[in-house]
Structure 1
């Protein structure tokens, strides 16, 4: 019977039920009318004196469940008790049967007062010279549990009379359900569900005959028969009760024999879940206090299988990391906006430092994860398309200003390449073209609550992660991309639906952005395998300044996922690089959630593939020597033809914009004077790594000042001009880059193999090519 029923309404419902019962029992019309008149006259008095309100509205624990109704976490009730009410149908076979057979065997025959039991109790008490039996029924006990009265004969009489009246307000199953949900089992444990989870770590519906008999025995003395402290007493009583259940036909001899062989529980268990952050987030954002059902349960959107998947992948990834580093993740179902997975701290429950911090709610520097939204704004306004040429060049003549992570400048690149490779300088140029105020406004509309300052204060850093967002906020923002630019609050209540949403990004701009992020060229073997297997995952990595946060946001047609790795204290760690640390976990999760051949997003009608200049990215003119087809928004993207290629003195020439003209000129002068060249290892070389042969010398010539070395985009160290650096080899194909402070750079690619597998015994260098 659900809780929290309105008391006057319950009385009215009960009176209606009483009228039906009089009719069903065949009472004369006049007699029934007299009784009904009496009940109507007594209605006002019953509202004040009858404990129906206390019976119906006993404080219950709030229980957050997963989407299937399986409990994730419970909290103490307003009375400070663990009371987890469940329907009678969810109490299983044995507990209701044992309660009736042992506490009130004629429960379904009497009308709230068992006259046979009263007569027997009177005789036993008279002959024994003391109170031996009280003849209480389950119905009268429901009244007693609701109203605390002194244990006197008068109180007993009141309980019997009110119990008889209760039979007109509630049917037998409702009374039994109320009793089993309210009976105390010792301490602050009340009700069979809480007792089953406390003693056996399972729901009441899974209790065995032996377990139900033990709980029934605890009702007779929770402290006296406590099995972990008085196992002999508990075992003897349990077995006697099993014999009684067998003699009364509740259990067969075989069932009773097997039940007696079961061991007693060694101790009580914690009812509250060890991983509480997901349930607490669901309760907070889902409005659990108002949305819980009549049994105190709030059905969240969390999926237990998804929780296990996220937790397993993150925990595995943390196995080789420093103890101070942890991880968090949010998984959203795109169609419904429901949060299906939430890991606030992958080390939760381990007792390690800061394992109690819910990192999913913590504001952190997002690194490059906000760049896609800057590009989306530029696409939406028509200032750029994926093919648009951007300048990846120094912003100052000296080579200073914004730099890329690997300190290299690539010159002319397309917006598609710039975003896919997460280049910083082109992102800043896009930010300036779109307008910092406009970008900041978009970020705020996306729900980033920490952006409280003016655009001038953030400057170019808006595009590079110079602000703070939480993983939960970032998940909502990427879900907006997946939803075609419609922003809606994420859904935490399984019974609720996704709101209509507010348009914050055009559907066309969102489509172009996601198309770039599914680029298969990027250096992530797992993603390459995904593409080869017919699975498509769009993802964007991010690394905060100082190596404090590693991010990856991933999107498929069905799912949006954000994964974060970092130290809750904010300390830097060398391994916190988005592509290296967060991306493998994110892509691995998405691969497990994606089936081969799952469809990708459908492009909006106004997004077309158009023939464009291969260099400038603008619509091709008559002098453009090469073309390519790429995405274009009809009626929005700039339709002006390419202005880069012109005819000069009968020959096709390129009119570079100033930032690229200066870059080419400056680079040529520097290279003529002192070019930076990697001298070791050689480009294309193949090496073997073994236990005693695992260091490779990196050396260069030329350049000015310190030389910075990067392996697969991660800083490996720096050396003085012309000085070597030792790098510890690892298997795989690696890109090695060297760069000085003035933008001069060189890049090579090598392969490292296992020495034992290659059969090489002496020389680490297997082959060279240039």
Structure 2
């Protein structure tokens, strides 16, 4: 034996050497592992169709668009492998024939003609850059063998697809395809595939946006190779050669910056796939830019569009301009906590419908109230007296909403909304109260848009889906019938039409909101397919005089709605649920009565939920003797008598709530409705208090200032009534509580003066100052 140790000794020696070699290789692999994982990787946020929205570069400023082999056109893979490394699927990472051929060509020509690197070796150099020296080449070979040892061929090819340089800060075929060609790498033509296959050989010298002639020559070289090798048909290659290479400057993803920043914190993936529609997002951002000049100084806006059929977020604009520091453009107002104003009102009416407290034609009272220290008023100033639930919702009246919330319970209302994903943010230590319904708590636009899906999803509110993998989660808030009724009211379809005349595709149903001090203007809309949320205001919370929902947010809401309708998407139908029927009720009792019944003072057609006709909802102080249903006993002459009087017969009289009398004609007031009292056998316990009256100015009067006087002095006084007086001028409470009041008015216009006593009686007068 040549080893001099005998046959057995030689084998042992060789085994020891092999073992040492394996141990050295194993140790080297552990000491110098493959650098596969980056500390700060490049990441990209994409729309649901793969369109990149925004890129986040790595520490070196590189951005990528991660792809898998299946997400790349087969044409590109054919061009890449057949041009760069025909034996890729068979060699162990290093092709010895290619290395020897390249060495011979380089030595015989005296210059570098061919590199001989396989795709695996190129990946090794991309993962671990090295100098072009012998030691560097050895390190590259070592890394290539490591790659083949630890990864499959598909994994290695995927690394190349995502790490190959394409010029400037672009890496990977995905980023190059979107930046240079504006298309997905899955949609590459033959010409595109050949161009992108050759660019990594000299990315700076062949950039098609800078050197189109060089890029075209290199592309044609690849096309010729594909024809020579028979990979692509000659006719197809010839047609591709005729296509010129001329590209616009690189297209960098510039959509949904604030949304993308938010998604960066929600996912650890290098490519974050979202539900956004890139085309719609671009249109919304252009719309925001067009609105920028119309907004007051330092004001911004926010928009969200949700497909309520599957709750995927299709559009998200967090500010009017992210780069405008004067408007706090870096603040995402879609998820900022703001006062929602009146946009919560549809929820309380829907919940009250289910609770049997009201129906759409229920008589509500838009009159001044005293609830402790809380004195709610209306946005448009003044009070309107008797209104239906439908009218109160459409006109966004405050007092009726407070009345219904008081009956339902503020804590219960807040808990119901929180249970379906709409938390209301109150000051520390504060409990839900009646101010909730008028914007007395904070809310987020994104949560509000999700909650409004209840009116399109048959009473169930669903959570927003930001990524296609997010599950559809929903919880019931109200019945399908209640949700359908409220949606129709908001769509101006409160009148109960026959089914053949009722639109099955519901038009835009919407609600506005304005916070106290004109700080926030909201508009939330639900069309046949989408929920649209709009907010405008100043992110720093300072007031904007004259900004309110109908004037500031509704025009933008309508533009977004028209934009969505023009896209021609399928419009789901929303037929009437079986639980909703048509009915006729009477005021002031709120229930149906037989024709000719004297207690039916006004008939109203309405939708009914489960056929329920709850009686008129009274205020807490109107129960008992102050109610509207009076059992009376009448004698033969129709006069009121005591119950034990001879021949007394009982009759129920339904009258209007006492605070509504100033808005009623004389014939409908209690003094006219109640029969006269018998002098021979009067009823016991008669209330001796006189009705409240306001004197000093007649209704409809025109008041003029004295010559040379800047103000008009108007003394008024009351008579009748009981207890203290509560004065209101255009809905605003005055500090005086006496029976007399002197108004000093300087501003021309229309005024409403209203006074209320401790019994809830109200007297009102309207006049004008000239």
Partners of 1:701 and 1:317 in 2: how far apart?
A: 45
The match for 2:52 among 71, 77, 81 is: 71
Partners of 1:647 and 1:314 in 2: how far apart?
A: 64
Partners of 2:50 and 2:170 in 1: how far apart?
A: 21
1:49 equivalent in alignment to 2:29:
yes
Deviation of the 1:542 alpha carbon = 0.9
**Equivalent in the alignment of 1:504:** 477
Deviation of the 1:280 alpha carbon = 3.4
Following superposition of structure 1 onto structure 2, how do residues 604-643 of structure 1 map, counting pairs within 5 Å? 604-620=577-593, 622-625=597-600, 626-634=602-610, 638=614
Partners of 1:214 and 1:413 in 2: how far apart?
A: 71
Distance 1:116 1:435, change over 3 A: closer
Render the CA deviation track for 1:662-707: whole Å, top value 9, x for unaligned: 8879998336733344799xxxxxxxxxxxxxxxxxx999897998
**Equivalent in the alignment of 2:486:** 513
| 8 A Cα contact 1:707 1:720, kept in partner | no
Partners of 2:765 and 2:569 in 1: how far apart?
A: 41
| 8 A Cα contact 1:124 1:133, kept in partner | yes
The match for 1:564 among 513, 530, 535 is: 535
Deviation of the 1:336 alpha carbon = 1.6
SS at match of 2:656: coil
Distance 1:133 1:354, change over 3 A: same
SS at match of 1:85: coil
Distance 1:577 1:176, change over 3 A: same
SS at match of 1:542: strand
Partners of 2:508 and 2:181 in 1: how far apart?
A: 43
Deviation of the 1:466 alpha carbon = 1.6
Deviation of the 1:379 alpha carbon = 2.4
| 8 A Cα contact 1:217 1:241, kept in partner | yes
Deviation of the 1:129 alpha carbon = 6.1
The match for 2:218 among 241, 256, 275 is: 241
Deviation of the 1:469 alpha carbon = 0.9
SS at match of 2:342: helix
Deviation of the 1:365 alpha carbon = 1.1
With 348-357 and 245-254 compared, the bigger mean Cα shift is at: 245-254
Distance 1:176 1:43, change over 3 A: farther
The match for 1:86 among 67, 72, 79 is: 67
**Equivalent in the alignment of 1:542:** 513
| 8 A Cα contact 1:344 1:360, kept in partner | yes
Render the CA deviation track for 1:580-614: whole Å, top value 9, x for unaligned: 22223324433554589966644554443333214
**Equivalent in the alignment of 1:675:** 699
Deviation of the 1:192 alpha carbon = 2.6
With 422-431 and 621-630 compared, the bigger mean Cα shift is at: 621-630
**Equivalent in the alignment of 1:739:** 752
| 8 A Cα contact 1:450 1:469, kept in partner | yes
Following superposition of structure 1 onto structure 2, how do residues 175-190 of structure 1 map, counting pairs within 5 Å? 175-185=156-166, 188-190=169-171
| 8 A Cα contact 2:390 2:489, kept in partner | yes
| 8 A Cα contact 1:64 1:297, kept in partner | yes
**Equivalent in the alignment of 2:319:** 345
SS at match of 2:470: coil
Render the CA deviation track for 1:156-214: whole Å, top value 9, x for unaligned: 45755775786798776765443232123466532233344455665556778888787
| 8 A Cα contact 1:348 1:355, kept in partner | yes
**Equivalent in the alignment of 1:686:** none
Partners of 2:552 and 2:504 in 1: how far apart?
A: 23
Render the CA deviation track for 1:514-539: whole Å, top value 9, x for unaligned: 333222589xxxxxxxx999752221
SS at match of 2:435: helix
Deviation of the 1:550 alpha carbon = 1.2
Larger helix proportion, structure 1 or 2? Answer: 1
**Equivalent in the alignment of 2:42:** 61
Partners of 1:660 and 1:709 in 2: how far apart?
A: 15
Distance 1:679 1:349, change over 3 A: same
Deviation of the 1:255 alpha carbon = 4.6
SS at match of 1:617: coil
Deviation of the 1:343 alpha carbon = 1.6
**Equivalent in the alignment of 1:477:** 451
With 571-580 and 536-545 compared, the bigger mean Cα shift is at: 571-580
| 8 A Cα contact 1:55 1:146, kept in partner | yes
Render the CA deviation track for 1:209-246: whole Å, top value 9, x for unaligned: 88878767764555677788xx6xx5675465245335
Distance 1:512 1:204, change over 3 A: closer
| 8 A Cα contact 1:619 1:640, kept in partner | no
Partners of 1:86 and 1:352 in 2: how far apart?
A: 39
Render the CA deviation track for 1:355-386: whole Å, top value 9, x for unaligned: 22211111111111112222233223222222
Render the CA deviation track for 1:138-159: whole Å, top value 9, x for unaligned: 2322233334566554664575
Partners of 1:221 and 1:239 in 2: how far apart?
A: 13
Partners of 1:611 and 1:454 in 2: how far apart?
A: 46
Distance 1:356 1:722, change over 3 A: closer
Q: What is the root-mean-square deviation in Å for CA atoms of aligned residues? A: 5.0
1:462 equivalent in alignment to 2:436:
yes
1:372 equivalent in alignment to 2:346:
yes
SS at match of 2:101: helix
Following superposition of structure 1 onto structure 2, how do residues 230-629 of structure 1 map, counting pairs within 5 Å? 234=211, 237-238=214-215, 240-242=217-219, 244-245=221-222, 247-249=224-226, 252=237, 255-256=240-241, 258-259=243-244, 262-263=245-246, 271-282=252-263, 284=265, 287-289=266-268, 292=269, 296-349=270-323, 353-395=327-369, 401-453=375-427, 459-499=433-473, 501-519=474-492, 536-591=507-562, 593=564, 601-620=574-593, 622-625=597-600, 626-629=602-605
Deviation of the 1:117 alpha carbon = 3.1
| 8 A Cα contact 1:678 1:701, kept in partner | no
Deviation of the 1:551 alpha carbon = 1.0
Partners of 2:99 and 2:393 in 1: how far apart?
A: 84
Distance 1:701 1:89, change over 3 A: farther
Render the CA deviation track for 1:489-530: whole Å, top value 9, x for unaligned: 22112133312x3333344443443333222589xxxxxxxx
Deviation of the 1:475 alpha carbon = 1.0
> How many residues in Structure 1 have an aligned counterpart in Structure 2?
649
SS at match of 1:328: strand
Distance 1:601 1:535, change over 3 A: closer
Distance 1:317 1:126, change over 3 A: closer
SS at match of 2:305: strand
Deviation of the 1:461 alpha carbon = 1.5
Partners of 1:596 and 1:210 in 2: how far apart?
A: 34
Partners of 1:72 and 1:43 in 2: how far apart?
A: 49
Partners of 2:161 and 2:94 in 1: how far apart?
A: 19
Distance 1:747 1:506, change over 3 A: farther
Render the CA deviation track for 1:715-754: whole Å, top value 9, x for unaligned: xxxx9748646xxxxxxxxxxx643576856599xxxxxx
Render the CA deviation track for 1:54-81: whole Å, top value 9, x for unaligned: 4876785333222222222232358864
